[in-house]
Amino acid sequence: MKTASREGTGAPDGPDRPGRRLVEFVDAQQAKGLYTFDRRRVASEIGLSGPLLKKAAARLKASGRLAIPRRGFYVIVPIEYRVAGSPPPTWFIDALMRHLGRPFYVGVLSAAAIHGAAHQQPQEFQVVTDVPQRPARAGRARIRFLMKAGLASTATVDVKTNTGTMRVSTPEATAVDLVRYPHAAGGLDNVATVLTELADRLDASRLVSAAEADGEAAHVQRLGYLLELVGAAQCARRLAVWIDRRDPRRVLLRPGRPSKGAELDARWRVVVNETVEPDL
């Protein structure tokens, strides 16, 4: 005679029972307006864990019902996002970072787009955190993590999402980060393009505070030069005072590129070793 068993033990049970139980759990979560859960919650609430959970979740992922951006973390996919394979990262980034136990903010191009500088939609969702993280995928969405040691000092705002809120760098902190991470921002031409669109949202005093929080004069020098280049000299004026007080050394506009024959911008102490052309 067969004996009943719990799904998490690996003992005999109906071949489809773990899958049915996970489907029922997912449907119940979505009915409550909840779109994420982790393996610990599944284990505690329906007793499903280990290989049986992995297999059941894999089936739901294959059917388009779940996305799994990190092992043990699950995103419920509503029907309108089945083709994309996942709802937007804005729906689950806060929950994902809590699952990982890491501080974060949405930054660089993703933050710029949220603040209205969306000339070109970023191809990836960019998140700044305090330790290296490998990229995550959820359906078609790719999440890229950038590391910053002084994360806690960066100014952020809470932005409402479909499922709650998420932290996003302020326009001023975003401007500094665009220059800090030019590789993630699509190069200096694209940085200048985004700054052109972001300039109207920049407050001069908060921009100085963002420079203080960043702490790297070289980033501020390049940012000031680019703001003047795109016609936003007014909001860069206080940055110039900030630079004068520190009297930093000269820096290359584009690090790692030859500077022979390049002109010096005396105001910002920037060696202009690249021609920057905004795409506007």
For the record, the structure tokens of 222 come out as: 């390049």
Supply the pLDDT for residue 2: 40
- Positive or negative: CA dihedral 189, 203, 181, 217: positive
Provide the mean pLDDT of the chain. Answer: 92
Across the range 194-203, mean pLDDT stands at: 95
Q: How many helices (H) and strands (E) does the chain have?
A: 10, 12
Q: Does 150 have pLDDT greater than 70? A: yes
Q: What is the pLDDT of residues 202-226, one digit of tens each?
A: 999 999 999 999 989 999 999 999 9
Q: What is the pLDDT of residues 151-172, one digit of tens each?
A: 999 999 999 999 999 999 999 9
For the record, the structure tokens of 189 come out as: 């031409």
Q: How do strand 125-129 and strand 136-138 relate by DSSP bridges?
A: unpaired
Amino acid at 222: R
Q: Which residue's structure tokens are 């960043």?
A: 214
Across the range 236-264, mean pLDDT stands at: 94
Q: Which fold has domain 89-272?
A: Beta Polymerase; domain 2 (3.30.460)
Alpha helices per DSSP H over the chain: 17-31, 39-46, 50-62, 93-100, 108-114, 171-180, 188-198, 204-214, 217-229, 233-246
Percent helix, percent strand, percent coil in the chain, to nearest 5: 45, 15, 40
Q: What is the pLDDT of residues 13-33, one digit of tens each?
A: 445 587 899 999 999 999 999
Of all residues in the chain, what percent carry a pLDDT higher than 70?
94
What is d(CA 151, CA 26) in angstroms, rounded to the nearest whole number? 34
Our CA angle for 143, 148, 151, nearest 5°, is: 100
Q: What is the pLDDT of residues 53-68, one digit of tens each?
A: 999 999 999 999 999 9
pLDDT band at 12 (very low <50, low <70, confident <90, very high): very low
Q: Does 4 have pLDDT greater than 50? A: no
pLDDT band at 138 (very low <50, low <70, confident <90, very high): very high
Amino acid at 174: T
Q: Does 9 have pLDDT greater than 80? A: no
Instruction: Give the three-state DSSP class for 24.
Output: helix
Domain(s) labelled CATH 3.30.460 in the chain stretch across 89-272
Q: Does 8 have pLDDT greater than 50? A: no
CATH number belonging to domain 7-81:
1.10.10.10
Supply the pLDDT for residue 100: 97
Supply the pLDDT for residue 183: 95
